């Protein structure tokens, strides 16, 4: 099962530090007014603020619709292969969470899909998780989901003990 | 008000009948693949207590709110999951507080799955409810829930909560005597001969053992766990009714050698380990009963009835007369196909005959089976090795299909110096030579007889084969017999009952020791094995803890005969590659997930495909191959007809 990032919205204070950390982790030092492509977006509404990003679905519609294999169902995440992207925007349309974007980074040729890759190239793990001042973000390993299910089932079977 | 499944914890006996019923109901009433067992209801255990847990069909379900694609919807009276719409985002799994939604892989897609109250099955009503033997599971709806409340309100008003409650169905059902099982000869008696140590059940014993079966369901946890899915509850019921011939008929529908499985299967790990009675006075003695049924039926003259079988023109060659080959031959004969079995040994059975010692399996049984199979029309070409006496090409030319059930006869080396010194012997040749003597066959120069009389024997390894070597050495008059195993006793991979038997017969056990070198005397013969003590370290990739050597704990264990029992690996068969049958890097024959190999006419199964394993898994693979061969031959016949038109 894929890993993913879990958000506890009630902890989010809307500081957008995660966005900056994400953009830096992927594209290096950002310049004011320069390209800024964080892979997650802090959404602010009256009652709630929360970062939203790719859920690394197991049966991902973005993968299903991608005609070139630029998005593939990997073992631990939905993986991106920039070089294959033709910018058809199919994935952007398909994603029910609105967390994929097609960008054309200035100074570079071609287009690329931008979505959370769990900072797969970084040993220290997702930058957003590391930087969040209130620990509202948490990386969940795929295997932990099955454990959570088992634990909840146990509590359902034998409540309160 | 939604309908939902509710479970009475006091009545749940943890029999898993609900899980099996659910998995089967959602698989067109057929057994699912071992890897695709995803029931929508799960039994949770804590000690002896158990409760089944499944979806509550909440009236304001958080899973529905969390689903971004409307795969989960509120329908009339239920929460509906449309698997076709699921994108596998796991939101619902995280939202459900009961752990009632699981991620599964179906048609190569990762999707969520949960209880659908069996609306997608032809039966339409929940299978778990129908199959629960204690009626612990019920389907509730608005009116039953209200009725329950009204009953309780009335009890509250009158103060009558039914002080003298009726006894629980589960308690009544579980009231059974303790397991007795088959009698075993006393150790000092059985040490002196090679006869079977377990005695047959008599009618009285068989009846009382059969009375212990709860008949959890027709498809119960025991027959789910059995690799052949033997109809265990039903054949035990027939024993109880005294209908041995019907029971034998039923046994033979799923198994080719039931009396042999009844003797050599590790039941404690399979059917009996899965028995609901196992923690309650002992599992039903399924193995003993299976043996009793076929032994008695054969003694009464019962034989498989193939009179209704329509003969077919096709002929199939089977390489190897072990459990895989015999399983395949059995089903082919029952489909009217002429099977010819080739084996290099002088008797059928493969490792059943030559690898399993006679005190576990009387060799007369295989002879009887050979006669039965021959009467069914199976031909045997014994003392005939493919690649030596007959070329594999000739089989491909002469037969319509070929099945390879060649087993794994390669031996695992320990990587120690002097492994070829006199006195060091591999387990399999040692056992084969001993069995040949017991059977009155002449010695085979490929497996020379090793005399252990009056000698100190050390066996390296801790599996069932190691136990066979220990017990064979005891019976052959060894002065002392010691098993040296590198892990602790709890980590031994084989059957617990074999360890107990070996210990009773006087074998000594040394745990947590690892061989380092073989010590030789001046004439170059083995005089001992250099050991180092180990302690259990971190778990390895297979989940088993790795033994770590303890520095400074070296010692020499004296031995005049050293038997290496580290398991089996594939033996080289160059004639396979030459004919386009591919093997993987370990030498195991590659198949496409079924039993088809890279050669269209060649099928394979058993140890040669999945690596050394049990008799019963080999037989299951052989039988599957027969089904695959029949559909292959059907396709061929259809093609020919097409061509003629």
Tell me whether B89 touches chain A (CB under 8 Å). yes
Q: B556-586, pLDDT tens digit by residue?
A: 999 999 999 988 889 888 899 889 999 998 8
Hey, are the CB atoms on A156 and B100 less than 8 Å from each other? yes
- Mean pLDDT over the full length of chain B: 93
Asked if B266 and B315 touch (Cβ cutoff 8 Å), the reply is no
Q: B490-529, pLDDT tens digit by residue?
A: 888 888 888 999 999 999 999 999 999 999 999 989 999 9
Which of A73, A149, A155 to mutate to test binding with chain B, by most B CBs within 10 Å of its CB?
A149
- What residue of A is the nearest CA neighbor of B9? A157
Q: Is A27 exposed, middle or buried (0-12, 13-18, 19+ CB in 10 A)?
A: middle
CB-hemisphere CA count at 13 Å for B61?
A: 30
Tell me whether B109 touches chain A (CB under 8 Å). yes
**Which tokens is A154 given?**
């146990």
Angle between helix B244-254 and B232-240 (nearest 10): 170
Q: Give the list of residues 6+ apart from residue B532 with CB closer than 8 angstroms, or none.
A: B513, B514, B516, B549, B550, B553, B554, B555
Among candidates B91, B99, B111 on the partner chain, residue whose Cβ is nearest the Cβ of A151:
B99
Residue B30 has pLDDT above 70, yes or no: yes
Place of tokens 């158990």: B50
Residue A107 has pLDDT above 70, yes or no: no
Mean pLDDT, to the nearest integer, of B620-637?
A: 95
Tell me whether B48 touches chain A (CB under 8 Å). no
Q: Which residues pair with B315 in a beta bridge?
A: B338
Distance spanning both ends of chain B, measured CA to CA: 62
Q: Give the list of residues 6+ apart from residue B638 with CB closer than 8 angstroms, or none.
A: none
Sign of CA dihedral B623, B624, B629, B634: positive
Q: According to the 3-state scheme, what is the secondary structure of B257-325? A: CHHHHHHHCCCCCCCHHHCCCCCCCCCCCHHHHHHHHHHHHHHCCCCCCCCCCCCCCCEEEEECCCHHH
What pLDDT, on the 0 to 100 scale, is given for residue B164?
63
Q: How many CB atoms lie within 10 A of CB B59?
A: 11
Q: B193-230, pLDDT tens digit by residue?
A: 999 999 999 999 999 999 999 999 999 999 999 999 99
Q: A128-149, pLDDT tens digit by residue?
A: 999 999 999 999 998 899 999 9
What pLDDT, on the 0 to 100 scale, is given for residue B367?
94
Q: Is A121 exposed, middle or buried (0-12, 13-18, 19+ CB in 10 A)?
A: exposed
DSSP state of B496: H
pLDDT winner (highest mean) among B70-84, B149-163, B537-551 = B70-84
Q: How many CB atoms lie within 10 A of CB A99?
A: 19
Write phi, then psi, for A42 (nearest 5 degrees): -85, 120
Among candidates A55, A96, A153 on the partner chain, residue whose Cβ is nearest the Cβ of B99:
A153
What pLDDT, on the 0 to 100 scale, is given for residue B341?
97
The minimum CA-CA distance between A16 and chain B, rounded to whole Å, is 24
The minimum CA-CA distance between B486 and chain A, rounded to whole Å, is 31
Mean pLDDT, to the nearest integer, of B171-196?
A: 92
**What is each CA distance from B561 to B123, B283, B512, in whole angstroms?**
63, 39, 21
Hey, are the CB atoms on B90 and A57 less than 8 Å from each other? yes
Write phi, then psi, for B255 (nearest 5 degrees): -130, 145
Asked if B270 and B616 touch (Cβ cutoff 8 Å), the reply is yes
Mean pLDDT, to the nearest integer, of B155-175?
A: 82
SS3 label, residue B289: helix
Mean pLDDT, to the nearest integer, of B55-73?
A: 94
H-state helical runs in B177-285: 187-190, 203-211, 221-225, 232-240, 244-254, 258-264
Mean pLDDT, to the nearest integer, of B468-485?
A: 95
What pLDDT, on the 0 to 100 scale, is given for residue A33?
75
B315-319 and B401-404 beta bridge pairing = parallel
Q: How many CB atoms lie within 10 A of CB A60?
A: 27
Share in percent of chain A as helix, strand, coil (round to 5): 30, 15, 55
Mean pLDDT, to the nearest integer, of B542-555?
A: 86
Which of A1, A7, A95, A156 to mutate to test binding with chain B, by most B CBs within 10 Å of its CB?
A156
- What residue of A is the nearest CA neighbor of B83? A59
The minimum CA-CA distance between B589 and chain A, rounded to whole Å, is 27
Cα angle B163, B164, B166; round to 5? 125
Write phi, then psi, for B184 (nearest 5 degrees): -115, 140
The minimum CA-CA distance between A23 and chain B, rounded to whole Å, is 24
- What residue of B is the nearest CA neighbor of A54? B89
Whole-number Å distance between alpha carbons of A24 and A26: 5
Q: How many CB atoms lie within 10 A of CB B525?
A: 14
Write phi, then psi, for B127 (nearest 5 degrees): -70, -35
DSSP labels, B609-627: HH-S--HHHHHHHHHHHHH
SS3 label, residue B232: helix
Rg (CA), chain A: 17
What pLDDT, on the 0 to 100 scale, is given for residue B597?
94
Q: Is B538 exposed, middle or buried (0-12, 13-18, 19+ CB in 10 A)?
A: exposed
Place of tokens 């952007």: A92
Question: Which residues in B lie closer than 8 A to residue A150 (C-beta atoms)?
Answer: 99
Tell me whether B333 touches chain A (CB under 8 Å). no
| Segment among A4-13, B58-67, B154-163, B328-337 with least mean pLDDT | B154-163
Query: What value of ipTM does the predicted structure carry?
Result: 0.77
Question: Which residues in B lie closer than 8 A to residue A158 (C-beta atoms)?
Answer: 44, 46, 49, 51
Whole-number Å distance between alpha carbons of B64 and B79: 8
**Which tokens is B250 given?**
């039923």
- What residue of B is the nearest CA neighbor of A62? B87
- What residue of B is the nearest CA neighbor of A144? B94
Q: A31-43, pLDDT tens digit by residue?
A: 777 778 899 999 9
Residue B395 has pLDDT above 70, yes or no: yes
């Amino acid at each position: 099962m894929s890993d993913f990032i879990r958000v506890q919205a009630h902890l989010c204070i809307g500081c957008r530090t995660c966005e900056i950390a994400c953009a830096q982790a992927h594209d290096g030092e950002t310049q004011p007014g320069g390209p800024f492509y964080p892979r997650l977006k802090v959404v602010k509404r009256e009652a709630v603020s929360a970062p939203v990003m790719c859920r690394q679905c197991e049966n991902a519609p973005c993968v299903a619709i991608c005609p070139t294999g630029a998005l593939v169902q990997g073992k631990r995440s939905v993986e991106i292969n920039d070089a294959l992207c033709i910018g058809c925007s199919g994935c952007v349309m398909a994603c029910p969470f609105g967390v994929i974007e097609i960008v054309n980074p200035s100074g570079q040729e071609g287009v690329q899909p931008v979505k959370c890759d769990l900072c797969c190239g970084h040993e220290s793990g997702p930058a957003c998780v590391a930087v969040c001042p209130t620990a509202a973000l948490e990386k969940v390993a795929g295997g932990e989901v099955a454990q959570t299910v088992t634990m909840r089932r146990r509590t359902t079977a034998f409540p309160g003990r | 008000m939604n309908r939902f499944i509710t479970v009475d914890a006091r009545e749940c006996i943890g029999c898993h009948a609900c899980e099996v019923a659910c998995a089967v109901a959602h698989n067109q009433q057929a057994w699912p693949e071992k890897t695709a067992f995803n029931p929508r209801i799960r039994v949770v255990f804590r000690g002896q207590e158990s409760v089944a847990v499944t979806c509550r069909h909440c009236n304001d379900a958080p899973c529905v709110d969390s689903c971004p694609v409307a795969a989960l919807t509120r329908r009339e009276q239920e929460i509906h999951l449309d698997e076709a719409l699921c994108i596998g985002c796991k939101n619902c799994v995280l939202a459900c507080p009961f752990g009632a939604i699981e991620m599964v892989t179906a048609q190569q897609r990762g999707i969520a799955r949960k209880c659908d109250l069996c609306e997608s099955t032809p039966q339409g009503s929940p299978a778990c409810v129908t199959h629960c033997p204690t009626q612990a599971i019920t389907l509730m709806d608005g009116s039953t829930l209200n009725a329950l409340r009204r009953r309780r309100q009335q009890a509250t008003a009158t103060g009558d909560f039914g002080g003298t409650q009726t006894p629980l169905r589960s308690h009544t059902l579980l009231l059974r005597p303790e397991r007795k099982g088959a009698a075993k000869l006393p150790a000092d008696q059985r040490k002196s001969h090679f006869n079977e140590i377990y005695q047959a059940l008599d009618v009285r014993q068989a009846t009382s053992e059969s009375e212990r079966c709860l008949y959890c369901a027709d498809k119960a946890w025991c027959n789910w766990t059995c690799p052949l899915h033997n109809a265990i509850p039903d054949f035990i019921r027939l024993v109880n009714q005294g209908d041995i011939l019907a029971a034998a008929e039923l046994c033979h529908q799923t198994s080719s050698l039931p009396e042999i499985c009844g003797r050599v299967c590790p039941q404690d790990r399979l059917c009996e380990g899965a028995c609901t009675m196992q923690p309650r006075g002992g599992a039903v003695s399924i193995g003993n009963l299976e043996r009793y049924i076929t032994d008695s039926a054969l003694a009464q003259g019962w034989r498989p009835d193939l009179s209704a079988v329509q003969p077919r023109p096709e002929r199939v060659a089977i390489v190897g007369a072990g459990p895989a080959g015999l399983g395949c031959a059995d089903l082919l004969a029952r489909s009217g196909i002429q099977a010819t079995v080739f084996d290099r040994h002088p008797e059928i059975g493969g490792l059943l005959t030559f690898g399993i010692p006679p005190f576990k399996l009387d060799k007369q049984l295989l002879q009887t089976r050979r006669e039965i199979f021959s009467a069914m029309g199976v031909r045997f070409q014994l003392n005939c090795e493919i690649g030596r006496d007959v070329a594999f090409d000739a089989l491909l030319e002469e037969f319509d299909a070929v099945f390879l059930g060649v087993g794994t006869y390669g031996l695992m080396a320990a990587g120690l110096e002097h492994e070829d010194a006199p006195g060091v012997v591999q387990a399999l040749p040692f056992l084969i030579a001993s069995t040949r003597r017991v059977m009155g066959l002449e010695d085979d120069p490929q497996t020379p007889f090793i005399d252990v009389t009056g000698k100190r024997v050390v066996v390296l390894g801790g599996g069932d084969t190691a136990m066979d070597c220990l017990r064979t050495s005891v019976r052959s008059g060894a002065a002392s017999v010691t098993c040296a195993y590198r892990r602790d006793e709890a980590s031994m991979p084989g059957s617990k009952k074999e360890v107990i038997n070996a210990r009773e017969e006087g074998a000594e056990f040394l745990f947590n020791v690892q061989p380092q070198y073989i010590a030789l005397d001046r004439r170059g013969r083995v005089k001992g094995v250099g050991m180092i003590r180990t302690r259990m370290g971190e778990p390895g990739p297979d989940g088993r803890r790795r033994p770590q050597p303890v520095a400074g704990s070296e010692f020499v264990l004296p031995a005049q005969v050293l038997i290496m029992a580290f398991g089996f690996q594939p033996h080289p068969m160059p004639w396979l590659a030459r004919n386009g049958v591919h093997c993987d890097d370990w030498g195991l024959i590659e198949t496409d997930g079924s039993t088809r190999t890279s050669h269209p006419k060649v099928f394979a199964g058993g140890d040669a495909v999945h690596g050394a394993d049990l008799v019963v898994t080999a037989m299951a693979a052989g039988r599957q191959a027969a089904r695959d061969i029949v559909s292959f031959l059907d396709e061929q016949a259809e093609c020919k007809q097409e061509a003629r038109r």
